[in-house]
Amino acid sequence: MTKIYKGGKKPAVLDFNLEIDDGEFFCLVGPSGCGKSTILKLIADLEKPTSGKIEKKGRVAMAFQSAGLFPWLTVKENVEFGMKMENLAQHEIKARTSKYIELVSLAEFSNKYPRELSGGQRQRVGLARALAVEPEILLLDEPFSALDPLTTEELHKCVLKIWEETHKTILMVSHLLEEAYLLSDRIGVMRNGELIKIFKVEDTRPREETHKSFSILMRQIKKEFSNK
């Protein structure tokens, strides 16, 4: 598919063609402005492709970089919000809210407001809210980029736990190669709106950045950026 924004001189996304397996953790990497977020917006139906189409085998939910929580709602109410929009039965909303707040380890913060939480905790609420609508496909738009390294590490563990326990298909966008290596099955490298190469990460999880294959992969990906 291709996406040209209104008034845009060149395509934000050009001839993008990718098949993601059920239950796969796929990460798109690339420099700022290369079209990563546009891909997520197209998949989430927040934008329409100029040409081409997207086939989805299930429902999609997205967790954003800024967490996007409603400041006037508590953690619990924020998680409930999406389900209320879907008119789910009250007992189902209650059960899922506890389940997903538990999954992101925030049970004791259920009645707190976003302003009373740390950045990492807010991101986890965003994840719980996206998961609560029980999508088959979870989109993560640089969800860890504004956090300190320790919090990021904690959240990586949280996302891996979610992925392992729920078998969701995850498409994450990141500009950090470390993050892509630590989490994903495959890494798609983007440049100027095009998907230029896909790398498969074979190492078993949990992974360490100190692993030799990480530096090899880094070198290969950086070569892709300088090649074209």
Q: Determine the 3-state secondary structure of 95 from DSSP.
A: helix
Q: How far is the CB of 129 from ligand ADP (least distance, A)?
A: 22
- Quote the least distance from Cβ 65 to ligand ADP, whole Å: 10
The whole-angstrom separation of Cα 161 and Cα 155 is 10
E strand map for the chain: 25-29, 60-63, 137-141, 169-174, 186-191, 194-200
How many CB atoms sit inside 10 A of residue 111's CB? 10
**In the bound complex, what is the minimum distance in angstroms from residue 7's beta carbon to ligand ADP?**
6
What number of chain residues touch ligand ADP (CB under 6 A)?
Answer: 11
- By the rule CB under 6 A, 5 interacts with ligand ADP: yes
Is position 62 an interface residue for ligand ADP (rule: CB under 6 A)?
no
For residues 111 and 90, give the distance between their C-alpha atoms in angstroms, rounded to a whole number. Answer: 18
Distance CA 33, CA 191 (A): 9
Pick the stretch among 29-37, 56-64, 107-115, 146-154 that binds ligand ADP (CB under 6 A): 29-37
Partners of 173 in the β-ladder: 28, 141
- The yes or no reply on residue 174 touching ligand ADP (CB under 6 A) is no
Q: Does 188 bind ligand ADP (CB under 6 A)?
A: no
Nearer to ligand ADP, 5 or 70 (CB): 5
Sites of contact with ligand ADP (CB under 6 A): 5, 8, 12, 30, 32-38
